[in-house]
Amino acid sequence: MKLSSKNLHERLETVYDAIVVGGGMGGLSAAIYLARYGLKCLVIEKGKGRSLWMQDLRNYVGLDPHTPGRDILNHGTKTSLDWGADHLRGYVEEVTDEGETFAVKVKVGKQNSIYPVFRSKYVIAASGIIDNLPQLEDMQNVYDYAGYTLHVCMICDGYDMWDQKAVLIANTEGQIGAAFVLNWFTPYISVLTHGLCTVSDKTKQKLAEHGYPLYEAPIAKFLGENHQLSGVELTDGTIVEATTGLVGMGSVYHNQYLKGIEGLEWDGQNLVTNDMCKTSHDRIFALGDLKKGLNQVSIAVADGTLAATQIWRNIRRASPPRKWEE
Protein backbone atom coordinates (compact mmCIF):
# COMPACT_ATOMS: atom_id res chain seq x y z
CA MET A 1 0.00 0.00 0.00
CA LYS A 2 1.22 3.48 -0.82
CA LEU A 3 1.41 5.42 2.45
CA SER A 4 1.15 9.19 2.83
CA SER A 5 0.42 11.65 5.61
CA LYS A 6 -3.28 10.86 4.99
CA ASN A 7 -3.24 7.12 5.71
CA LEU A 8 0.04 6.33 7.47
CA HIS A 9 -1.65 6.28 10.89
CA GLU A 10 -3.13 2.91 9.83
CA ARG A 11 0.37 1.44 10.10
CA LEU A 12 1.60 3.00 13.32
CA GLU A 13 0.63 -0.09 15.35
CA THR A 14 2.14 -2.50 12.83
CA VAL A 15 5.41 -4.23 13.63
CA TYR A 16 6.94 -4.70 10.20
CA ASP A 17 9.24 -7.63 9.58
CA ALA A 18 11.60 -5.21 7.87
CA ILE A 19 11.83 -1.50 7.17
CA VAL A 20 13.92 -0.68 4.12
CA VAL A 21 15.55 2.74 4.32
CA GLY A 22 15.92 3.91 0.73
CA GLY A 23 13.86 2.79 -2.23
CA GLY A 24 16.65 2.80 -4.80
CA MET A 25 18.16 -0.12 -6.66
CA GLY A 26 19.03 -2.29 -3.67
CA GLY A 27 16.07 -1.31 -1.51
CA LEU A 28 13.49 -2.09 -4.18
CA SER A 29 15.11 -5.44 -4.92
CA ALA A 30 14.96 -6.27 -1.20
CA ALA A 31 11.31 -5.18 -1.05
CA ILE A 32 10.34 -7.39 -3.98
CA TYR A 33 11.92 -10.44 -2.34
CA LEU A 34 10.60 -9.63 1.15
CA ALA A 35 7.07 -9.17 -0.16
CA ARG A 36 7.24 -12.43 -2.11
CA TYR A 37 8.39 -14.23 1.05
CA GLY A 38 5.14 -13.01 2.59
CA LEU A 39 6.95 -10.67 4.99
CA LYS A 40 5.54 -7.29 5.99
CA CYS A 41 7.86 -4.58 4.75
CA LEU A 42 7.89 -0.82 4.38
CA VAL A 43 10.15 1.05 1.97
CA ILE A 44 10.88 4.66 2.93
CA GLU A 45 12.30 6.79 0.12
CA LYS A 46 13.19 10.48 0.35
CA GLY A 47 13.39 11.15 -3.42
CA LYS A 48 16.29 12.64 -5.44
CA GLY A 49 18.57 9.68 -4.80
CA ARG A 50 21.68 8.70 -6.72
CA SER A 51 20.05 6.25 -9.10
CA LEU A 52 17.49 8.89 -10.10
CA TRP A 53 20.31 10.94 -11.69
CA MET A 54 21.61 7.93 -13.59
CA GLN A 55 20.53 8.85 -17.13
CA ASP A 56 21.58 5.56 -18.71
CA LEU A 57 22.23 2.23 -17.03
CA ARG A 58 24.89 1.06 -19.44
CA ASN A 59 26.05 -2.27 -18.07
CA TYR A 60 23.11 -4.26 -16.73
CA VAL A 61 22.51 -7.50 -18.55
CA GLY A 62 19.12 -7.69 -20.26
CA LEU A 63 18.37 -3.98 -20.06
CA ASP A 64 18.75 -1.57 -22.95
CA PRO A 65 21.88 0.53 -22.25
CA HIS A 66 19.78 3.70 -22.44
CA THR A 67 17.52 2.65 -19.59
CA PRO A 68 17.29 5.59 -17.16
CA GLY A 69 17.39 5.02 -13.41
CA ARG A 70 14.09 6.89 -13.13
CA ASP A 71 12.28 4.18 -15.13
CA ILE A 72 13.72 1.41 -12.97
CA LEU A 73 12.69 3.26 -9.80
CA ASN A 74 9.13 3.73 -11.06
CA HIS A 75 8.88 0.15 -12.24
CA GLY A 76 10.45 -1.32 -9.10
CA THR A 77 8.25 0.78 -6.82
CA LYS A 78 5.11 -0.31 -8.64
CA THR A 79 6.18 -3.96 -8.68
CA SER A 80 7.00 -4.03 -4.97
CA LEU A 81 3.63 -2.42 -4.19
CA ASP A 82 1.90 -5.02 -6.37
CA TRP A 83 3.51 -7.86 -4.39
CA GLY A 84 2.32 -6.26 -1.15
CA ALA A 85 5.08 -4.01 0.15
CA ASP A 86 4.23 -0.64 1.72
CA HIS A 87 5.93 2.48 0.37
CA LEU A 88 6.25 5.92 1.93
CA ARG A 89 7.82 9.10 0.59
CA GLY A 90 9.74 10.48 3.55
CA TYR A 91 13.15 11.05 5.09
CA VAL A 92 14.42 8.66 7.79
CA GLU A 93 15.91 10.79 10.55
CA GLU A 94 16.71 8.27 13.23
CA VAL A 95 16.72 4.58 13.98
CA THR A 96 16.63 3.46 17.62
CA ASP A 97 17.26 -0.10 18.75
CA GLU A 98 14.57 -1.08 21.25
CA GLY A 99 15.82 -4.65 21.68
CA GLU A 100 13.18 -6.74 19.91
CA THR A 101 12.24 -3.96 17.53
CA PHE A 102 13.59 -0.82 15.95
CA ALA A 103 11.84 2.55 16.12
CA VAL A 104 12.25 4.36 12.81
CA LYS A 105 11.51 8.07 12.95
CA VAL A 106 10.52 9.59 9.64
CA LYS A 107 10.09 13.17 8.48
CA VAL A 108 7.12 13.30 6.11
CA GLY A 109 6.59 16.42 4.01
CA LYS A 110 9.29 19.01 3.49
CA GLN A 111 6.84 21.67 4.66
CA ASN A 112 4.46 21.26 7.59
CA SER A 113 6.35 18.09 8.31
CA ILE A 114 5.04 15.34 10.56
CA TYR A 115 7.30 12.85 12.32
CA PRO A 116 5.70 9.40 12.57
CA VAL A 117 7.57 6.49 14.14
CA PHE A 118 7.31 3.04 12.55
CA ARG A 119 8.46 -0.24 14.08
CA SER A 120 10.18 -3.27 12.62
CA LYS A 121 12.11 -6.38 13.59
CA TYR A 122 14.81 -5.76 10.97
CA VAL A 123 16.23 -2.67 9.26
CA ILE A 124 17.76 -2.76 5.80
CA ALA A 125 20.02 0.24 5.23
CA ALA A 126 19.73 0.86 1.50
CA SER A 127 20.12 4.64 1.51
CA GLY A 128 23.24 4.83 -0.65
CA ILE A 129 25.41 7.85 -1.24
CA ILE A 130 25.35 10.98 -3.41
CA ASP A 131 28.30 12.33 -5.32
CA ASN A 132 29.59 15.79 -4.49
CA LEU A 133 29.44 18.04 -7.53
CA PRO A 134 31.37 21.27 -8.08
CA GLN A 135 29.36 24.09 -6.53
CA LEU A 136 28.76 26.92 -8.96
CA GLU A 137 26.50 29.91 -8.50
CA ASP A 138 24.34 28.48 -11.26
CA MET A 139 23.85 24.83 -10.28
CA GLN A 140 21.56 24.27 -13.25
CA ASN A 141 24.67 24.68 -15.44
CA VAL A 142 26.25 21.73 -13.57
CA TYR A 143 23.06 19.63 -13.70
CA ASP A 144 22.85 20.20 -17.49
CA TYR A 145 25.91 17.94 -17.86
CA ALA A 146 26.22 15.88 -14.66
CA GLY A 147 25.10 12.33 -15.35
CA TYR A 148 25.09 12.90 -19.12
CA THR A 149 28.62 13.62 -20.40
CA LEU A 150 30.05 14.74 -17.06
CA HIS A 151 30.28 11.41 -15.27
CA VAL A 152 30.71 10.48 -11.61
CA CYS A 153 31.57 6.79 -11.92
CA MET A 154 34.50 5.49 -13.92
CA ILE A 155 33.39 1.87 -13.71
CA CYS A 156 29.98 2.85 -15.09
CA ASP A 157 31.03 5.28 -17.76
CA GLY A 158 34.77 4.95 -18.46
CA TYR A 159 33.92 3.19 -21.71
CA ASP A 160 31.89 6.19 -22.82
CA MET A 161 34.93 8.43 -22.36
CA TRP A 162 37.17 6.32 -24.60
CA ASP A 163 39.95 8.43 -26.19
CA GLN A 164 37.96 11.64 -25.72
CA LYS A 165 39.32 14.87 -24.32
CA ALA A 166 38.30 14.70 -20.70
CA VAL A 167 38.43 16.85 -17.60
CA LEU A 168 38.99 15.25 -14.22
CA ILE A 169 37.57 17.48 -11.49
CA ALA A 170 39.26 16.60 -8.21
CA ASN A 171 39.01 18.31 -4.84
CA THR A 172 41.88 16.55 -3.07
CA GLU A 173 45.34 15.46 -4.05
CA GLY A 174 44.22 11.85 -3.52
CA GLN A 175 41.38 12.25 -6.03
CA ILE A 176 43.85 13.57 -8.61
CA GLY A 177 45.29 10.06 -8.56
CA ALA A 178 42.17 8.97 -10.47
CA ALA A 179 43.86 10.43 -13.57
CA PHE A 180 46.26 7.50 -13.54
CA VAL A 181 43.34 5.06 -13.60
CA LEU A 182 41.17 7.04 -16.02
CA ASN A 183 44.03 6.86 -18.52
CA TRP A 184 43.04 3.24 -19.12
CA PHE A 185 40.07 4.74 -21.00
CA THR A 186 41.58 7.98 -22.33
CA PRO A 187 45.00 9.63 -22.04
CA TYR A 188 43.69 13.10 -23.01
CA ILE A 189 43.09 14.26 -19.46
CA SER A 190 43.08 17.81 -18.08
CA VAL A 191 42.98 17.97 -14.30
CA LEU A 192 40.87 20.73 -12.68
CA THR A 193 40.98 21.44 -8.96
CA HIS A 194 38.29 24.14 -8.99
CA GLY A 195 40.55 25.95 -6.54
CA LEU A 196 39.75 23.40 -3.83
CA CYS A 197 43.17 21.94 -3.03
CA THR A 198 46.83 22.63 -3.31
CA VAL A 199 48.87 20.25 -5.39
CA SER A 200 52.27 19.01 -4.27
CA ASP A 201 55.32 19.27 -6.53
CA LYS A 202 55.48 15.49 -6.68
CA THR A 203 51.95 15.22 -8.11
CA LYS A 204 52.57 18.15 -10.45
CA GLN A 205 55.63 16.38 -11.76
CA LYS A 206 53.79 13.09 -12.24
CA LEU A 207 51.00 14.85 -14.16
CA ALA A 208 53.59 16.65 -16.29
CA GLU A 209 55.38 13.38 -17.03
CA HIS A 210 52.10 11.94 -18.31
CA GLY A 211 51.38 15.12 -20.28
CA TYR A 212 48.20 15.91 -18.31
CA PRO A 213 47.73 19.67 -17.87
CA LEU A 214 46.69 20.93 -14.43
CA TYR A 215 44.36 23.93 -13.98
CA GLU A 216 43.99 25.31 -10.48
CA ALA A 217 41.61 28.22 -11.14
CA PRO A 218 37.98 27.75 -10.12
CA ILE A 219 35.43 26.73 -12.75
CA ALA A 220 33.21 29.56 -14.04
CA LYS A 221 30.89 27.43 -16.15
CA PHE A 222 30.49 24.33 -18.26
CA LEU A 223 30.15 24.86 -22.01
CA GLY A 224 28.14 22.85 -24.52
CA GLU A 225 24.56 22.14 -25.46
CA ASN A 226 21.94 19.40 -25.13
CA HIS A 227 23.88 17.85 -22.21
CA GLN A 228 26.90 17.42 -24.52
CA LEU A 229 29.97 19.02 -22.97
CA SER A 230 32.34 20.95 -25.25
CA GLY A 231 34.59 22.57 -22.66
CA VAL A 232 35.00 24.23 -19.30
CA GLU A 233 35.49 27.96 -18.77
CA LEU A 234 37.60 28.90 -15.76
CA THR A 235 37.32 32.12 -13.76
CA ASP A 236 40.66 33.32 -15.12
CA GLY A 237 39.18 33.18 -18.63
CA THR A 238 40.93 29.98 -19.70
CA ILE A 239 38.82 27.61 -21.78
CA VAL A 240 39.67 23.92 -21.41
CA GLU A 241 38.43 21.87 -24.33
CA ALA A 242 36.72 18.62 -23.35
CA THR A 243 33.80 16.54 -24.60
CA THR A 244 33.53 14.53 -21.41
CA GLY A 245 34.55 14.63 -17.77
CA LEU A 246 34.74 12.77 -14.51
CA VAL A 247 33.89 14.34 -11.17
CA GLY A 248 36.03 12.87 -8.40
CA MET A 249 35.01 14.94 -5.41
CA GLY A 250 33.94 12.29 -2.93
CA SER A 251 30.41 11.59 -1.76
CA VAL A 252 27.90 12.24 0.98
CA TYR A 253 27.00 8.98 2.71
CA HIS A 254 23.34 8.67 3.69
CA ASN A 255 24.06 7.05 7.05
CA GLN A 256 23.23 9.72 9.64
CA TYR A 257 20.18 7.85 10.94
CA LEU A 258 22.39 4.91 12.01
CA LYS A 259 24.90 6.92 13.99
CA GLY A 260 23.08 6.25 17.28
CA ILE A 261 23.29 2.46 16.91
CA GLU A 262 25.99 0.86 19.00
CA GLY A 263 28.24 -1.89 17.73
CA LEU A 264 27.98 -1.18 14.02
CA GLU A 265 31.23 -1.80 12.24
CA TRP A 266 32.22 0.88 9.74
CA ASP A 267 34.98 1.11 7.19
CA GLY A 268 35.21 4.85 6.77
CA GLN A 269 31.58 5.77 6.02
CA ASN A 270 30.72 2.35 4.56
CA LEU A 271 29.06 -0.38 6.56
CA VAL A 272 30.93 -3.65 6.81
CA THR A 273 28.76 -6.71 6.10
CA ASN A 274 29.06 -10.47 5.80
CA ASP A 275 28.30 -12.32 2.56
CA MET A 276 24.52 -12.11 3.22
CA CYS A 277 24.75 -8.33 3.71
CA LYS A 278 24.29 -8.53 7.49
CA THR A 279 26.17 -5.86 9.38
CA SER A 280 27.85 -6.47 12.73
CA HIS A 281 24.37 -5.89 14.24
CA ASP A 282 22.24 -9.06 13.91
CA ARG A 283 19.10 -7.20 12.83
CA ILE A 284 20.59 -4.56 10.54
CA PHE A 285 21.49 -5.33 6.95
CA ALA A 286 23.20 -2.99 4.49
CA LEU A 287 23.13 -2.94 0.71
CA GLY A 288 24.63 -1.36 -2.33
CA ASP A 289 26.64 1.84 -2.25
CA LEU A 290 26.34 2.22 1.54
CA LYS A 291 28.03 -1.09 2.20
CA LYS A 292 31.66 -1.77 1.52
CA GLY A 293 32.17 -2.97 -2.04
CA LEU A 294 31.58 -2.05 -5.64
CA ASN A 295 29.09 0.75 -6.35
CA GLN A 296 27.05 -0.80 -9.13
CA VAL A 297 23.37 -1.44 -9.74
CA SER A 298 24.01 -5.16 -10.33
CA ILE A 299 25.62 -5.43 -6.90
CA ALA A 300 22.88 -3.48 -5.11
CA VAL A 301 20.17 -5.63 -6.71
CA ALA A 302 21.95 -8.86 -5.72
CA ASP A 303 22.51 -7.47 -2.20
CA GLY A 304 18.75 -6.89 -1.87
CA THR A 305 18.15 -10.54 -2.75
CA LEU A 306 20.68 -11.76 -0.17
CA ALA A 307 19.50 -9.55 2.69
CA ALA A 308 15.82 -10.34 2.16
CA THR A 309 16.54 -14.06 1.96
CA GLN A 310 18.57 -14.08 5.17
CA ILE A 311 15.84 -12.14 7.01
CA TRP A 312 13.24 -14.61 5.75
CA ARG A 313 15.39 -17.53 6.92
CA ASN A 314 15.76 -16.02 10.38
CA ILE A 315 12.04 -15.31 10.75
CA ARG A 316 10.98 -18.64 9.25
CA ARG A 317 13.29 -20.64 11.53
CA ALA A 318 11.85 -18.85 14.58
CA SER A 319 8.25 -19.49 13.48
CA PRO A 320 6.14 -22.59 14.25
CA PRO A 321 5.73 -24.95 11.29
CA ARG A 322 2.49 -24.67 9.32
CA LYS A 323 0.63 -27.96 9.64
CA TRP A 324 -2.14 -29.26 7.37
CA GLU A 325 -5.02 -28.88 9.75
CA GLU A 326 -8.69 -28.86 8.84
Residues that bind ligand FAD (CB under 6 A): 21-27, 44-51, 53-54, 57-59, 89-92, 107-110, 113, 126-128, 130-131, 133, 143, 146-147, 152-153, 156, 254, 257, 287-290, 295-298, 300
Q: Minimum CB separation from ligand FAD for residue 287, in Å? A: 6
Altogether, the residues listed in the chain come to a count of 326
Radius of gyration of the chain from Cα atoms? 22
Q: Minimum CB separation from ligand FAD for residue 305, in Å? A: 7
Distance CA 307, CA 324 (A): 30
Which H helix or E strand runs over 73? helix 69-83
Looking at the Cβ atoms of 128 and 224, the one nearer to ligand FAD is: 128
Q: Minimum CB separation from ligand FAD for residue 237, in Å? A: 27
Whether residue 219 contacts residue 194, with contact meaning beta carbons closer than 8 Å, is answered with yes
Looking at the Cβ atoms of 111 and 198, the one nearer to ligand FAD is: 111
DSSP state of 114: B
Question: Residue with the closest Cβ to ligand FAD?
Answer: 24
Q: Minimum CB separation from ligand FAD for residue 218, in Å? A: 18
Looking at the Cβ atoms of 17 and 45, the one nearer to ligand FAD is: 45
Q: Minimum CB separation from ligand FAD for residue 20, in Å? A: 9
Looking at the Cβ atoms of 143 and 266, the one nearer to ligand FAD is: 143
DSSP string of 3-39, one letter each residue: E-TTTGGGGTT-EEEEEEE--SHHHHHHHHHHHHTT-
Whether residue 84 contacts residue 14, with contact meaning beta carbons closer than 8 Å, is answered with no
Looking at the Cβ atoms of 117 and 208, the one nearer to ligand FAD is: 117
Find, among 166, 2, 18, the residue nearest to 84 by Cα: 2
